[in-house]
Chains A and B, each alone.
Chain A
Amino acid sequence: MVKLYKIELKKLLTYSTFWVFISIITGLFLLFSFLMAIFEINFMFGGADYNNQFNFQNLLKFPHVYNTLSWVASWFNMLLTLLIIIMVTNEFSYRTYKQHVIDGLLRHELITAKLMVIVGISIIFSIIVWLASVVYGFIYSEPENYAQFFTNSYLIFVYFLQTIAYMSVGLFIAIAFRSVSLSIIIYFGYLIFEGIFALILRFTEMNIYKFLPAKIIRGLTPTPDIDVVMNTKQIAESLENAGDITLWQHSLIALLYSVIFIALSYYITNKRNL
């Protein structure tokens, strides 16, 4: 395991595409969370005064901040999928996977190494989101909210699961199709297909659309409730009533999808010629 970690680290330290993606995702996350912190809506409508009625900073208070920032961070998870697709398909185009096996690596170690990268990236982004949540939480919460520091902090773990799920999809597609352009087309093609398919299922009133992979994985970080912005609803309530499926069921199904995608990646790598 240490050997695989060292090998992947050597590849990544000077790999500019990796650092560009990481910087863009981190930068966009910090920018959007900052915009949320300074965002204000002040307007008059039909004679009613809505000035100071919409308080977006409420979303950055404990315990809402964990939901808000994991949701903001989740906007950029698709970039993580693309990053993994690029990293894995490069191994095929450089023929380095083949060379690694020739040099003595076991086929399953190729996937284990990339899985370690996936977990590593997920941990780093979870830490970034957690740190940002703590900082914004302490800036915008009233002292009486500090007691809720740990409430909903599990959402950072849910975000961690979500990033792993996004990247395991990327890993599977890259292993299956090997070419970067084809993999990206397949990925976005599937998202469009699932969207249309879900819509058809919805019209036919078949609830199965709620369990489709992209929907399940996307739904791990629920949209913060606008009522929280208006100070009328608690976050726990919004999470529990997000749909027929609870967040924990969501997490479990997403985890199952990740395991399936990773297992398929192992299977294909063991079976196919390199």
Chain B
Amino acid sequence: MSTVLQINNLSKSYGSTVAINNLNLQIEKGHVFGILGPNGSGKTTTLSIILGTIKANNGTFTWFNQNTNTSHNKTIGSLLEQPNFYPYLTVYQNLEIASLIKEIANPQQEIARVLQISDLTIKRNAIYRTLSFGMKQRLALASLLLGDPEVLVLDEPTNGLDPEGIVQVREIIKNEARNGKTIILASHILDEVEKVCSHVAILKKGNLLTVGSVNDLLKADDEVVIVCDKINDLFELLKQKTFHKSIDLYMNKITLVLQNNVNPAEISEFIYKNGFVLTKFDVVKKTLEDHFLEITK
């Protein structure tokens, strides 16, 4: 697997406010990489630096293992913060300008393609300022898909969209991911990231708190709640074992937080083999939101 983006010791401050503090990240080809964090955590600043609109104070980054300037952005489709277009031009004319910058070979064909994907064909001659915010956001999506880029960088892509628009955007992201595209998605909507991302990094106040695959993160800290006939005996037995990170007995219920590599079925089998009769065995899986709140608190 080849590295698409490598960030080394990236830092950015605005006066005494630290926006990013010594950030290191590596994003591989084909990953759908979510950058999570509360407002002000440094998500947009990170994306702005890697896209060349903000200068970092320290650190480096490389796209495709090359030290590049912003001309490399032609092969990256990006939507940063909000759609930025000429208000007096039509949807089509704005896409023509983007096509010229990206040096697209067949602009007419390509514009027709992205207008169709973003469901804007009927609005191609509408003046940009007359569009609703949702339509503007869709135009931004159309623009970033121009030239079928290998990498998509999206900052809060569902902001301001109605539920139908959100579903459409998610579908576009999923389709692009299925086609092997690398996607970098910054969001504070955890459900969005959980639904579409393969990997995630969590930032808070410019610091990287955790990074890894979404599956590993969700698998971590699964809880098992057990109720049985001889609960105190079982509690004493389980306490001696190592397959849990913590164990607690409260109101005749045992709560185990499992080690990352332990399957709950192994515990069930162990209890059965030791002659206990279970009346309740619940596996409680934490959502990304639970993990996020735990990590960022």
Interface residue count for B (Cβ, 8 Å)? 32
Majority DSSP secondary structure for residues of A touching B: helix
**In whole angstroms, how far apart are the Cα atoms of A107 and B73 in the complex?**
12
Given A10-B97, A94-B86: A273 touches B102 (CB 8 Å cut-off): no
Complex Cα–Cα for A11 and B86 (A) = 8
* CB of A104 within 8 Å of the partner chain: yes
A31 CB contacts on chain B under 8 angstroms: none
Is A210 on the interface with B (CB-CB < 8 A)?
no
0/1 per residue, A95-106, Cβ < 8 Å to B? 110111111111
Contact with B86, one of A96, A101, A105, A273 (Cβ below 8 angstroms): A96
Contact A7 B84 (CB under 8 A): no
Are A100 and B101 in touch, CB under 8 angstroms? yes
Q: Please tell me which one of the listed residues A16, A106, A273 contacts residue B53 in the complex, with CB atoms under 8 A apart.
A: A273
- Given contacts A10-B93, A10-B96, A98-B53, is CB(A103)–CB(B80) below 8 Å? no
Q: Which of A96, A99, A100, A272 has the most CB of B within 10 A?
A: A99
Interface residues of A in 56-108 (CB under 8 A from B): 94-96, 98-107
Interface contact A107-B70, CB-CB below 8 Å: yes
Is A154 on the interface with B (CB-CB < 8 A)? no
Question: A102: which B residues are within 8 A, CB to CB?
Answer: 51-53, 70, 73, 78, 80
Question: In the complex, what residues of B have CB within 8 A of residue A101's CB?
Answer: 51-53, 70, 73
Q: Determine how close the nearest CB of chain B comes to the CB of A89; give it in whole angstroms.
A: 14
| A3-B97 contact given A99-B85, A105-B70, CB 8 Å threshold | no
Q: Is A233 an interface residue (CB 8 A)?
A: no
- Complex Cα distance, B101 from A102, in Å, reads 10
Residues 232-243 of B, flagged 1 when their CB comes within 8 A of A and 0 if not, give 000000000000
Q: What chain A residues lie within 8 Å of B87 (beta carbons)?
A: 94
- Could you tell me if B86 and A7 are in contact, using CB atoms closer than 8 angstroms? no
| Chain A nearest Cβ from B74, distance in angstroms | 3
| Residues 130-159 of A contacting B (Cβ, < 8 Å) | none
Please name 10 pairs of A and B residues whose Cβ atoms are closer than 8 Å in the assembled complex, sorted by A.
Answer: A15-B88, A94-B87, A98-B80, A99-B84, A102-B51, A102-B52, A104-B73, A107-B52, A273-B53, A274-B53
